[in-house]
Structure 1
Amino acid sequence: MSIDHSTGKIQYTEQGEMFILKLTGEVRLTLCTALDTAVSKLFAEKKFKAVTLDLTEAISLDSTTLGLLAKLSILAKQSIDQLPVIETSNQDIIRLLDSMGIATAFNIIEGRKNDWHNLKDLASDICSEAFVKEKVLEAHKILMDVNDNNKAAFKDLVKTLEA
């Protein structure tokens, strides 16, 4: 089954010792539980030495997605001692990553449309409201820890989710 809520989609593939996540379209909260599960599993298995995020076809990323990408970067640094690569030529995405203070958590390279082999859709899990709330809260707490602007921007949302 394809994850395709609105125009968003997340796919993955393995190329040797590299794990690739391809985010396409508008990647929003509805895709984030699958993303979080994939990220957690990826680093639990410890079989990869590099992670690439292909954002060449991403149109937008919501704050929950950005928080989970920051989490991916933290786990990559801890697990494989290197930053994930982001491939994109979308200046709006690059500005978004920069404005949220997480651009430095990645090696960003000018992306070209890739022809990755064997892309598979991330499995979409049916999750409880409590689980989704937990993931949204975690993602925003990670973003708040990045800088003071994020702390101010997400303070009320985090308080609401914690209540």
Structure 2
Amino acid sequence: MSTGKIQFAEQDGTFVLKFVGEVRLTLCSTLDATIEKIFTALNFSAIVIDLTETSSVDSTTLGLMAKLSILSRQKVGLLPTVVTTNADITRLLQSMGFDQVFNIIDTPLPCPDCLEDLPPQDQSEEVVRAKVLEAHRILMGLNDSNREAFHDLVSALERS
């Protein structure tokens, strides 16, 4: 069982996702559903992903974060912001090419008091596999290094 959680708030046109602890595959359905919810909003001014209390994120979570950025640019022309104060997380984001698809800052923003834990969503193994595959395909599309790193995993998921 994952020890992480995702919190969410919407305040004055800004959507805030806060990842706490280890954010892994077990939260991918919750994160994906929240991404869909964000883009049903008619108008908003910013998307912030707060990683200041994140100890680790897996590649599925990174892929869904990239999906959020791509949708944000396509649908509303906004580049989301990632806040990270952990040097390891910052290096990971940069190695994945996230500096191309996010504004990455290291200054914590005032966090809304209204953050609420997102409830976990139980999904079938097939639905989770499809989300993992989508997330890794998105990561592969960011740069050649990711394409090489995740090629075998994506091929294996496509065969299963």
CA RMSD of aligned residues (A): 1.3
Which residue does 1:62 correspond to in 2? 58
Q: Does the CA-based 8 Å contact 1:29-1:62 persist in structure 2?
A: yes
Aligned equivalents of 1:10, 1:73: Cα separation in 2: 17
Q: Does the CA-based 8 Å contact 1:25-1:59 persist in structure 2?
A: yes
Aligned equivalents of 2:88, 2:101: Cα separation in 1: 17
Q: Which amino acid aligns with 2:22?
A: E
SS of residue paired to 1:45: coil
Scaled by the length of structure 1, the TM-score of the pair is 0.92
| Matched ranges for 1:121-136 at <5 A | 121-136=117-132
SS of residue paired to 2:146: helix
Which residue does 1:110 correspond to in 2? 106
| Cα displacement (A) at 1:102 | 1.7
Aligned equivalents of 1:32, 1:111: Cα separation in 2: 26
| Matched ranges for 1:9-158 at <5 A | 9-112=5-108, 114-158=110-154
Indicate the larger mover: 43-52 or 110-119. 110-119
Q: Which amino acid aligns with 2:112?
A: W
- Structure 2: gaps spanning 5 or more residues: none
| Cα displacement (A) at 1:46 | 2.9
Q: Does the CA-based 8 Å contact 1:8-1:23 persist in structure 2?
A: yes
- Structure 1: gaps spanning 5 or more residues: none
1:30-71 CA distance string (max 9 Å, x none):
011100110011112233221011111011110000000000
Aligned equivalents of 2:126, 2:107: Cα separation in 1: 36
Q: Does the CA-based 8 Å contact 2:2-2:26 persist in structure 1?
A: no
Indicate the larger mover: 85-94 or 134-143. 85-94
Q: Does the CA-based 8 Å contact 1:143-1:151 persist in structure 2?
A: yes
| Cα displacement (A) at 1:113 | 6.8
Indicate the larger mover: 105-114 or 144-153. 105-114
Aligned equivalents of 1:86, 1:74: Cα separation in 2: 14
Aligned length: 159
Scaled by the length of structure 2, the TM-score of the pair is 0.94
